[in-house]
Every structure is written in structure tokens, then in C-alpha cells.
Amino acid sequence: MSILVTGGAGFIGSHLVDHLLAETDYRVVVLDDFSTGSASNLAHLDTDRLETIDGDVRDESLVAKLVSGADAVYHLAAAVGVKTIVENPLDSMQTNLEGTKNVLEAAAASDSTPTFVASSSEVYGKSEPVPFAEGDDRVYGSTTSQRWGYATAKAADEFLALGFHAERDLPVVIGRYFNIVGPRQTGQYGMVIPTFVEQALAGDDLTVYGDGTQTRSFTHVEDAVSITHDLLTTPDGHGEVFNVGAPDPTSINDLAKRVIELTGSDSEITHVPFAEAYDEDFEEPDEREPDVSKLHDALGRAPTADLDWILRDVIDERTDEVIA
């Protein structure tokens, strides 16, 4: 049997590849254009069960060919990070929308290949109050603010996936990721934990955008990929949307302080207004916390929040010294 992972050289994708190779006997095919993913994320894997294809998920014929040979598809390829979306809005929208359409069309045409579609907590926009449940209403900002382009594209991806399930009986599952973190993640695209860790280890000030009181729920990547795999192999999950996150939020100020403590750094915390970092129209939600009751009902479990474990894992990757 064969599994296709789009975006498999990315941060989450490469950990999913690790999990699939370890937990199954299947052959794994990775499709990635290496725009945000990296070959180094897969370099540790020495197996003839892995094949890597350098290609774009927007290439309809290539996607159709690869999906036709797969027994399951995990679609993680996307333009990621708020910074990427704001700076490259057109390319980001095209990648996210066209890529998902191509995957779903190919899966539906290939004997209804089971497909997982990676979504994001961004689809909740600036809704409140928390925690967010999958069926909650969503509130977004204006289309004149590129900040909401990613959220809009991911919501459209979900509508497409659910439409393929409803009209063409495609066994599809949607996972809304909440701030997935761990080794191999880069701060290059605005991800807060690797950015803080790298700043702290360098002795630089930790840059906190806004006043730092905004809260986020962080999830270790190993928890996320294990749940991702289980969701697609659970028939009751087909045609459903699930929050994939740990319901234990922390403020960005507290996160920065804990990074400084764990690294033993002398760094200070500097606050930078969002308008200065991005633009005057930029909006950042105050809270992001998942309701995981639906996930519990489906799998009997949900990610376990352990911020220190997450931080130590990221810190250990970036230093020769193990932080006790």
C-alpha cells in the first residue's frame, strides 16, 4: 500500500512521514516544492519505503498521477505563516485554494481515496468567546486586510472538502491545527516559539508583538501527527471537522518569560506594535483555545498540553546542552 503526503518535507509533514513509516508498513510518497519545506527534514530517513517528488501541488496532472497511485492522502501542502500571507498574498491564495482543489478532485476520481485536509485555527478569525468548537460561527476582518487571506483560504478549503464528501461521497477528514510546535520548526515565517528560542540562545531581546497578553494554545507536533493519522483511519470521522490542539492556553508574555528561564538567557522582552511589524490594518485575535470534546468523542483522547516539554524539545534541538 502507498500513502501520499503533500507538503511532506515541511515541519508537520515531515513528522507525519516519520510517524507513518514507524507505525505502518506502507510506502510513503512525499510531494513538496521545497518553498517552505526542506530536504533536511527528511534526511534522517534511510529507507526504500520513502519516495520524494519535487513538485507543486498546483500541478494538476502531477497531483492526479500521484493520488491515483495512493491508498490514502494527507494534504498538508500550503503557504504557511502570517508573514508569508501578508507579504505574498496572491501566491499564497493560489497555492492554498488550487492545491486543495487538485487533491480533492484527484482523490474523488481515484475510487474515493481517503483524504485528510489540514486546516487551521485561523478559520475562527477574531471570533469570541473561547474555547472554539468546530460548529461555532466565525468572524473575520475586512478583505482589504491581507491578514485574513489565510483564514479565508483555509475556510474555503474546508467547504471544498465537505462539498466533495456530500456530493461525491469522498471519505475526507479535516483537522484544524492549533499552533503546532516542535523540532524542525523554523521562526522564518513568524512562528513564535522557535523565534523566541533562537533569540534567547543568541542573547537577543525577545520580540513580543502587541502587549503580549494575547493567549495561544500550543501542541507538540508528535501529538498532532499521531492524531492526524488516527482521524483518517477512523470511519466515523469522515465528513467531519476536528480541532487538533491542546486546550491549555498561555499568554505570549508568559511564554517569553518561560523561554528565558529554560534557556538561562539574560535576554529582555521587547514589545513591538503589530502596526509596526506588519501594517496599520493588521489585527491579531486576543485568544485561541480549542474545544476538544469532539476529538475525545471520536478517538477517546486529545493532545496533552505540556509547555515545558515542548520548549525543552525545541531548545535541545538548537543547543548541544540538554536543558534539565
What is the reported pTM?
0.93
- Residue among 150, 177, 189, 278 flagged as catalytic: 150
324 pLDDT more than 60:
no
Residue position matching grid coordinates 482589504: 144
Architecture of domain 2-181+219-244: 3-Layer(aba) Sandwich (3.40)
> What is the Cβ-side half-sphere exposure of residue 91, based on CA atoms within 13 angstroms?
11
Cβ neighbors of 49 (< 8 A, separation 6 or more) are 21, 26, 27, 28
Q: How many residues does the chain have?
A: 324
Give the residue extent of every domain in the chain. Answer: 2-181+219-244, 187-215+248-289+305-317
Identify the three-state secondary structure at position 9: coil
- CA–CA dist 103, 8 (Å, integer): 14
How much is the pLDDT for 85?
74
> For the CA atoms of 244, 248, 249, 252, what is the dihedral angle to 10 degrees?
-100
Give the domain 187-215+248-289+305-317 fold.
UDP-galactose 4-epimerase; domain 1 (3.90.25)
Q: Which cell numbers hold the place of 35?
A: 518553498
Mean pLDDT across the stretch 225-236?
95
Measured between alpha carbons, how far is residue 43 from residues 9, 36, 40, 236, 285 in Å?
Answer: 10, 16, 5, 35, 37
Q: Look up residue 315 and give its three cell numbers.
A: 531548545
74 labelled catalytic: no
Q: Is the pLDDT reported for residue 10 higher than 90? A: yes
Q: How far apart are CA 229 and CA 29, in angstroms?
A: 15
Q: Is pLDDT at 241 greater than 80 in this prediction?
A: yes
Three cell numbers written together for 91: 501566491
The string over 21-58, giving b where at least 16 C-beta atoms fall within 10 Å of a residue's C-beta and e elsewhere, is beeeeebbbbbbbebbbbeebbeeeeeeebebeebbbb
Q: What mean pLDDT comes out for the span 148-172? A: 95
Q: Is the peptide bond before 89 cis (omega within 30 degrees of 0)?
A: no
Is the pLDDT reported for residue 121 higher than 90?
A: yes
**Residue 281, pLDDT score:** 65
